[in-house]
Amino acid sequence: MVMTPSETSYSPAAVEATRFLAACRPLIESELDQLLPAETTDPARVHAAIRWSVFAGGKRLRPVLLLAAGRTLHAREADLMRTACALEMIHTYSLIHDDLPSMDNDDLRRGRPTCHVRFDEATAILAGDALLTLAFQTIAEDKHLKPEIALQVIAEVARASGTPEGMVAGQAYDLAAESEVVTGAELERIHERKTGALMGVAVRCGAIIAGAAESDLSALSHYGAQLGLLFQITDDLLDVTATAADLGKTPGKDARSRKATYPALYGVEATREYLMSAYQGACVSLDSINQPTGLLRAIADFIVERQG
Ligand code: GRG
């Protein structure tokens, strides 16, 4: 098979993951297109802002993780797809709100002007609010899911998105840590919630929809948590080493805003070692699953090796 130029810098496992991502992306985007209000529907400015941010070209990692976990345990893709899209809606809401002047104050995201720069701040807040709400509506109205599964998935997603265990709490801790000296444990608390919770719930929801046994669910939860850590450490390293073109956002921003990061706390070399131990942790947690887990391992490889 012919490798694309962007694949040549990846290991064979990471290439497998990039191909899975590339195969899933159009399916996810076409479903999102169906689920999101049209730009011509009033209030059109809010809907245009939602679509501006959702279709700006993200990796779709959280929905892909859900699809991969569900596929590993033999769920039907149709049963997984709407919850997968709901997670992308929540992720996009979090990026829109994170970029606001009162939060991270960024003007570049996914390679284009941020939502509040392209539209205005009030519209960006409403677009984020609408995406969060639509995510739960999407799961609640998903006819593929049995009501008790939908309820369980809604509770899991709410816990991972909100506070005290989820993304909102992580963001609050992160904002509070700006310009402060944080300990390793405090850094972990930020990232477990800010980045890890949504990745973890993606894996868990894929497993729940597949009707996973408790032992598999617990193994996949551990894998998801390690993956969140992996993702965040890589993100911190990329902020130090990558270009704006690679990232689609402004690099070097963590250091400038004196953000709590792994390289800032441990240095780049020790951070790379920590990354590899989280990678081993993610792989070991898959060992107890009595199904082929190559795809999930490949996604861990991709996260470690990603360039942007
Ligand atoms: C506003 C409640 C609230 C939360 C914001 C996710 C988040 C919390 C902030 C984003 C800030 C940030 C850059 C975090 C680092 C990890 C991260 C989530 C990166 C972006 O995720 P990718 O790389 O983005 O998966 P794409 O664009 O590919 O979807």
pLDDT tens-place string over residues 270-298: 999 999 999 999 999 999 999 999 999 99
Q: Is the CB of 195 under 6 A from ligand 1?
A: yes
Choose one of 28, 195, 249 to mutate for the ligand 1 pocket test, by most ligand atoms within 8 angstroms of C-beta.
195
Ligand 1 atom at shortest distance from the alpha carbon of 92 = 29
Residue nearest to atom 3 of ligand 1 (CA): 94
Residue nearest to atom 2 of ligand 1 (CA): 168
Ligand 1 centroid – CA 91 distance (Å): 7
Closest CA to 298 of 5, 9, 10: 10
Q: Is the CB of 239 under 6 A from ligand 1?
A: no
pLDDT bracket for residue 308 (50, 70, 90): confident
Residue with tokens 């792989």: 283
3-state secondary structure of 112: strand
Q: Is the CB of 95 under 6 A from ligand 1?
A: yes
Q: Is the CB of 61 under 6 A from ligand 1?
A: yes
Interatomic CA distance for residues 193 and 191, integer angstroms? 5
Ligand 1 centroid – CA 107 distance (Å): 14
Q: Which residues contact 268 (CB under 8 A, 6 or more apart)?
A: 237, 240
Q: Is the CB of 260 under 6 A from ligand 1?
A: no
Closest CA to 79 of 210, 225, 240, 239: 210
Ligand 1 centroid – CA 100 distance (Å): 13
Ligand 1 centroid – CA 198 distance (Å): 10
Share the mean pLDDT of the chain. 92
| pLDDT digits 0-9 by tens, 36-65 | 999 999 999 999 999 999 999 999 999 999
Interatomic CA distance for residues 244 and 1, integer angstroms? 30
| pLDDT digits 0-9 by tens, 163-197 | 999 999 999 999 999 878 899 999 999 999 999 99
pTM of the model: 0.93
3-state secondary structure of 113: strand
| pLDDT digits 0-9 by tens, 93-140 | 999 999 999 999 999 998 899 999 999 999 999 999 999 999 999 999
| pLDDT digits 0-9 by tens, 194-241 | 999 999 999 999 999 999 999 999 999 999 999 999 999 999 999 887
CA-to-CA separations, 162 to 80, 230, 280, in angstroms, rounded: 22, 21, 29
